[in-house]
Each structure stands twice: as C-alpha cells, then as structure tokens.
Amino acid sequence: MAELSELEKKIGVEFKNKDLLLQALVHRSYLNENPNFKVKHNERLEFLGDAVLELVVSDYLYEQYPQEPEGQMTAWRAALVNANMLFDIAAKLGLGNYLLLSRGEAKDINKARMYLIANAFEALIGAIYLDQGIEAAQIFIEKNVLVELGRVIKEKLYRDSKSLFQEEAQDKAGITPIYEVLREWGPDHAKHFVIGVFLGDELVAQGEGMSKQSAQQEAAKEALKVKNWGS
C-alpha cells in the first residue's frame, strides 16, 4: 500500500478503510482484465461523491452569499463542479498517476482520459464521505474545490456558453433553451453524445462530446454563433 499512503499524504486524508480509497481509483476497464481483483470499480462511489460535492458547494454558497440570487449561485456551482475544473484539481493532486486502468485506457491521452480522472476525483470524495463522514468530505472539498471560487468569480469562468445562451434566449426570445440527446453510442465508460439545443420546436444547433455536459456546452456555443448572440 505504499502508493496509497503517498496519495493519502497528498490529499491530507488517512483512510481507516484502505479498500475504499483503492476502490475510488479502480476504473471498470481494469476489472475486465483483472476480474478477481479484491474491490469493485468506482462508479458507485462516483455517484455518491457527485452528490456530496454538490451538497457541500451548494451549502457553502448559500451560507456565504446570502444576497446572491439562485441563478448566480447555480452558475458558480456549475463552474466549480464541471469536468474541466475537477480534472484540473485532480491533476494538481496527481490523481491520474494512481488510477487502475486497462492497458488500452492507460495508453490513451485524450479527452476521455480527462473525464476518467474527473470521475475518479468524485469517487474519491465519495470514499472520504463513507470512511470519515460529511465533515471530512467538507474539509477536503473546501481545501481543493471551493478554494477555486475566487478565480471563478474574478475570471468569470461561470460565464460558460450554456449560461450565456440561456441568458440571451430568455432576454431576446423569452424562451428557456431545452437540451435533448439526439444520438449516443459507445460503452458505459466511453460514451459519446450528440445533443441538440432547442428554442421551442426550433433545433438551433447541435454539439458533440464525451459527456452530456460537454455536448451541451458545444451545442450552446454553436447556437450563440447561429443566432449571433453574445460576445
């Protein structure tokens, strides 16, 4: 467990149950090649960690910014918990070096790998929560995620394409955009999505991505060009 103890030092958390930390690092593809491995893959932990992350960030914003409207807090939260941000944070911790992947996945250095690392970061939060409770998870999230809030606000990182298109659509057309999956393919760990953004019945634009979130962002970016809205 030498590598795990090294990671524990980096994240500032010493696990009571080391298997939870190990499970957070196991991708489904690794078990395809190692079916008798002692822990399961990290998808259930990712599910849990995603919920814990959203709760902690939401609670922090609610308490610290009592004058801010829901829409503003939602935009800030989205900027803090999206895959790009989580990947950047995980990269600072070197989390990708500890992932257990199939030989094929380990060789790939692409956008899909970025999502695997971001997902593992959420799984790590889920593991911390199960091992030590909400307070430990909150401390970890404050130290690694909420510390980025100042940069999000200063650099207006919350002004993503999806948010901008929604603002413009509501202002200019009085309609809230709707996003629908038009096509999807690939295995669970490497899905690909094509998503359309609609204003009423009008399909304004389409976007592709390795997650629904990224495909929505691409669709919104194209829709802003189509409508010639925003800057």
Q: Among all residues, which ones are annotated catalytic?
A: 50, 122
The tokens of 122 are what?
A: 């959420």
The tokens of 86 are what?
A: 């989580």
CA atoms within 13 A on the CB side of 139: 9
A 10 A CB-CB count for 84 gives: 16
As beta bridge partners, residue 183 has 194
Residues in the chain: 231
User: Three-state DSSP class for 80?
Assistant: helix
As beta bridge partners, residue 209 has 193
